[in-house]
Structure 1
Amino acid sequence: MHQHSEPNILYFGTPVVVISTMNEDGTPNLAPMSSAFWLGWRCVLGLGASSQTAYNLRRERQCVLNLPSQHEVAQVNRLALTTGSNPVPAFKAARGYRHVHDKFAASGFTPQESETVDAPRIRECPVQMEAVVEAIHHIADDDEMQRGRILNIEVRVQRVHLHPSILMKDRPDHVDPDKWRPLIMSFQKFYGLAPQQLHASSLSTIAEAVYRSPDVDRARMAAMA
């Protein structure tokens, strides 16, 4: 029998994303998060409205979504209790956060120039997606205590960079899930994936091309302009 429960959080497991954005003074900011999901070449990001990343996204309207593998867990963890906001918001200070301006130096990550946005990519991350903001929505505005505190930010990916080590042999547009080992956060702790798939998937009989989004062609045309 299932048991009634009231977990404080519902983070059942999603990939870690390190978002790189540009601060108002022209320096880069890095922020690890895991409240993200993709539909085609669109991604939805759940962020606190008072975070430095949220400020940067609203102002600059662009970012890079860097996906670390299991191998980059130490660098990600160095960013975990840091914030680009100065002064540190009271609620973050109470949780042990400290202000760090140079997130690259603090984490040990290496900046890499992007091609379509100003924010840098993270060289060590096997997946890097340059993106632009398309829409910003508020979450939980029906609740007085949460109103204005959480944002749902929709971004459109316009350039994808993948390390050859995670690609299928002779198929550069296909990620090999047997090689890709994303860093997963589940209930505030880091995990990885099993070394092989657990069961054959009926869904995998559908060609990936069926799901191709018009945003892919849109991104290609933008690159040619």
Structure 2
Amino acid sequence: MHRTIDPRVLYFGTPVVLVSTCNEDGSANLAPMSSAWWVGQSCMLGLDRTSRTTENLARTGECVLNVTPAALVGAVDRIALLTGAPVVPEHKQRKGYRYEPDKFAAAGLSPMPSLVVSAPRVAECPVQLEARVTRTHPFEEEDSGLVAIETRVVRVHVEEELLVPGNQRHIDPDRWDPLVMKFCEYYGDGRHLRPSRLATAWRIPGPTDAVRG
């Protein structure tokens, strides 16, 4: 029997992406997010209007979408509640966010040069998509604080071990284990990987909370 509910979030299972952009002073910003989906050669990103990533995308028009493997769950969680904005918006302060100018170092990840955009790639991510902004759309109500940013992927980098043997255009889905966000919790290979700081900030019970009852 179905039951009508009012869930806090609608994250039924989406891949985690580390979005790298360039700050105004030329330094790199890195932001984990999971409101991303692809059609054709384009990717739509759902972002907070006040985030440093949104600001950088509006100014530079480019980024790298580093699609994250399950093995990097620890790195993602280390920067889940960090922001590159020196003035932390009040709604983020309430969730426990704090300012961190070097999120690559905080995550324990390494920047590497891109080929066609200025933003760096994340060396440890086996899938790296250089992209340019094509359009920005308002999202939900006018005062939602959210935007949907449409990007066009202009260069794709994939670790060779993920490719179908003898085929340089196709990724083997059995070899690719993405980090997935389900209701603010981290999953990979069909299992819960670790507690999530983001879920705690949003006060969303995780699997271990459900077991404790």
Normalised-by-shorter TM-score class: 0.7 to 0.9
Residue number in structure 1 paired with 2:9: 9
Instruction: Name the TM-score, length of structure 2 as normaliser.
Output: 0.88
Aligned to 1:91: 91
Q: Match of 1:220?
A: none
CA distance in 2, matches of 1:76, 1:170: 32
- What's the secondary structure of 1:56's corresponding residue? helix
Match of 1:165, SS?
Answer: helix
TM-score using structure 1 length: 0.83
Aligned length: 191
Name the CA distance, whole Å, in 2 between partners of 1:3 and 1:140.
25
User: Residues of 2 paired with 1:140 and 1:105: CA distance?
Assistant: 34
Q: Is 1:58 the equivalent of 2:51?
A: no
1:136 partnered with 2:155: no
Q: Tell me the distance in 1 between the aligned counterparts of 2:2 and 2:190.
A: 26
Q: Which runs of 5+ in 1 are unaligned?
A: 196-225
| Distance in 2 (alpha carbons) for counterparts of 1:183 and 1:8 | 21
Equivalent residue number for residue 171 of structure 1 = 167
The alpha-carbon deviation at position 68 of structure 1 amounts to: 1.1
Shift of 1:194: 4.2
Provide the C-alpha distance between the structure 2 equivalents of 1:88 and 1:131, rounded to a whole number of angstroms.
27
What amino acid sits opposite 1:75 in the alignment? A
C-alpha distance in structure 2 between counterparts of 1:19 and 1:117, whole Å: 13
Structure 1 position 80 matched with structure 2 position 76: no
Aligned partners of 2:64, 2:18: CA distance in 1, in Å? 8
Note the residue ranges of structure 2 that are not aligned, 5 or more in a row.
192-213
Instruction: Provide runs of 4+ in structure 1 moved above 3 Å.
Output: none
Query: Is 2:182 aligned against 1:186?
Result: yes
CA-atom RMSD in angstroms: 1.1
Could you tell me how far 1:160 is from its partner in structure 2?
A: 0.2
